[in-house]
Amino acid sequence: MRVSFNWLQEYVEFDFTPSELAEKLTMAGFEVEHIEDRRTWAAGVVVGRVLECAPHPQADRLRVCRVDIGTGRLLNIVCGAPNARAGIYAPVAPVGTYLPIKDLKLRAASIRGVPSEGMLCSLEELGLEKTSEGIHIFPEASLPLGLDVGPLLGLDDAILEVASTANRADALSMVGIAREVAALTGGILRLPLVDAPLVPRGDLAARITEPEACPVYTATLLEEAAVGPAPDWLRERLEKAGMRSINNVVDVTNYVLLEWGQPLHAFDADRLAAGTLGVRFAHKGEQLLTLDGTDRSLTAANLLITAGERPVALAGVMGGEATEVNAQTRRIVLEAAIFDPPTIRRSARVFALRTEASARYERGVDASALEHALGRALQLLADCAGARAVAQASDDYRRRENRVVSLRPERLGQILGEDIPDAEIAQVLKNLGFDVQPGPQEFAVIVPGHRLRDIEREIDLIEEVARVVGYDRFPPTLPPPADGGYLPFEDFIERQVRSLCQGAGLTEVVTYSLAPDRDQQPVALSNPLSTELNSLRTNLIDGLLETLRFNRSQGNMPFHAFEVGVVFLRSDEGIFESGRLGAVLCGEPAVGDWQKITPPFDWFAAKGVLAAILQPWQIEVEYQADRRDERLHPGRTASLWVSGERLGTLGQLHPRLASRLDLPEQTFVFEIDLDFLIDLVRERPVEFRSFSPFPPAARDLSFYAREGITVFEFERLIREQGAPLLESVVLLDEFKGQGVPAGCRSLAFRMVYRSDHTLTEEEITAVHQRVRQALAERYSVDLRS
């Protein structure tokens, strides 16, 4: 909003310069974006009288003027203005004057052989008009010569361009800014309050059918109006605020809008042709020709002002052309209303029509000030247009809200870091227009109508006190020294997982979290990017296989890669995320081994990669045959279990899927539940064990066992029976074929025993025999050694 410095001083007393006031407002939350100091536009320009005006001897369009500026010496000025003549009073810029609008400094010059000692100025050269046909001629019959022209032309003022936040609708008015300045400077506030005249109802009627959208609507009929140019002072103030003058009636409504922030609208009463003004929503397809000459097609979301049933204005945005006030208007209906902000915002956006009225209604107009604004408008219409109010009708559904907010001085001190005296707190709030009632522990603060939209809680009042007393008053308080940074446990383990995967020869990849709908319980998207990516992924394996296929087509083999990411699963309780570690292994890990001693990469090699990743945490994983995943080979897939809970899956790609994807059959994948793994590591921290100084004792054990019993089951039983002396057990050999009973296989294990002393043969034999007996009893193995 453009705020006139001189106009503001009529409402509040202060001794600041424009720059100082701008600093105060900015620090209080009202940023002053620019200061237009008009006092500099005509600095040095004075009133002069043209005594003689003769044609230039060398140029037909130039005149040579003898000008008196009261110094006792006449100036010789060459002028090209067609309206220059003897006897007029005009603004004169002597030699040495700087005109900032034209970036021109006057110097003595010779124009076509005639000396010139200054310039007779037009309003264009003084910044008051975009273009001028000639010099400015003062209308007064006599003026003191040498007088500064600034006050005569309104150039003794400064304009502050003030930006306000969306929650401060009251700041879009001179009264609102004056309240703020009074609170910031301690100046005396003088509001332009007028006692509204008592007007009879007469034949005028107002009816609201949408009280939520329009809580109050007042219409006042005025007669004997003489529509014409507005007074100079009124036109000057509107021009400084960035508005153009229309006529005295419209200018008064705009003036009150700037002064009180209350939009008003004037209708030509004879063109309304109806005694009842109404407020309703439009019917779809209704038409309204607005003041800008645009015929607008309305929708049911647009609020209208109607005369009878005929639309005459787009409520809160713009009036209709059919009822516009013009030079022939003698009877006026003046509208003053409060409209619902979202309703007005919707209409303004639909038609891309932002007006001064809609800008204020969108933020919220102070309903408690409507009568003050209306009374002020009636007074000005009487003074400027001779209009007399003869009838008034109103329909009022306003809720008289009396909001009381408690403020604890102790809490204010805690928030701001410094205790402020109770008396100062109360005075600041009173200066802002709040009614403060002190109590033993807290203030009861009554919120005025112009602040109802943004003051709701105690913290809002604390902010008001802080910004008025100044944030620079509160010393900085630094937080206590922070401890050294650290990673959360989950992030730390995730980094370890990545490092271990890279150490095992895997390359990290990142795949899309969007996937085609392939799962039995897909997590479908309501707005998919495409039909191919219409769901959230439920596993990492699909994305890794697609990445493998692409890299194989590019010749990037062998391909051993992993991904750490989340999958999205559906349960009875809804959709949840789960962290996963997935990997794909394809191709020999060693390339170009001239000795040809690298064993073929098979299921056991893939298992070894996974074991290497889990080894640092000493997690004992049980492998169980698994056929549930149709993508994996039914005889070469195992589910991974720890303490009876599923950790993940390891398997070879199913031949059919490998053929369809054009991948080698010797492609292996695994996917483990990363969240479960992190919980395991948290619950079972790795313990450091030093090397034993005592020698180990190794024993081998061979037996025939029925097929179908996993090696892990044998290992688990051996560990149970061999404790506490058993240090490790590993499978040495597996054989099936000649010499082995049908349906069986030959297994050989090596067991290492160790203790905190040198073991005797008797101790080892006792434990070893217990292991043998347990295997024979539980699994009916045929012991060979």
Per the model's pLDDT, the better-predicted residue between 707 and 563 turns out to be: 563
With tokens 């193995």, the residue in question is 781
The sign one gets for the Cα dihedral 723, 725, 726, 728 is positive
**Residue 154, CB half-sphere, CA atoms under 13 Å: how many?**
19
Closest CA to 221 of 319, 336, 357: 336
Question: Which residue would you say has higher pLDDT here, 596 or 37?
Answer: 37
> Are residues 614 and 608 in contact, defined by beta-carbon separation less than 8 angstroms?
no
Residue with tokens 């003088």: 190
Neighbours of 614 (CB within 10 A): 20
Find the mean pLDDT for residues 33-48.
Answer: 91
**Of the ranges 160-164, 300-304, 470-474, 664-668, which one carries the lowest mean pLDDT score?**
470-474
Closest C-alpha among 630, 546, 622 to residue 584:
546
Confidence of residue 596 (pLDDT cuts 50, 70, 90): low
> Measured between alpha carbons, how far is residue 302 from residues 279, 282, 293, 353, 395 in Å?
11, 6, 18, 13, 20
Q: Is 572 annotated as a binding residue?
A: no
252's tokens: 């008064």
Report whether 575 contacts 665 (CB < 8 A): no
Confidence of residue 597 (pLDDT cuts 50, 70, 90): low
Instruction: Give whichever of 128-132, 393-397, 597-601, 622-626 has the largest mean pLDDT.
Output: 393-397
Average pLDDT of span 621-647: 89
How far CA 673 is from CA of 89, 489, 580, in Å, comes to 93, 16, 5
In sequence order, the β-bridge partners of residue 158 are 37
The confidence band for 598, taking pLDDT boundaries of 50, 70 and 90, is: low
Cα(11)–Cα(23) distance, integer angstroms: 19
Amino acid found at 517: D
The verdict on whether omega for the bond into residue 558 sits within 30 degrees of 0, i.e. cis, is yes
Candidate from 56-65, 470-479, 720-729 with smallest mean pLDDT: 470-479
Maximum Cα interatomic distance, the chain, rounded to a whole number of Å: 141
Q: Which tokens is 50 given?
A: 């043209």
Residues 6+ apart with CB under 8 A from 338: 214, 215, 216, 365, 367, 370, 398
pTM, to two decimals: 0.62
- pLDDT tens digit string along 457-493? 999 999 999 999 988 888 877 778 877 888 899 999 9
Residue 463 in marked binding region: yes
Instruction: Dig out the tokens for 383 from the structure.
Output: 């003074």
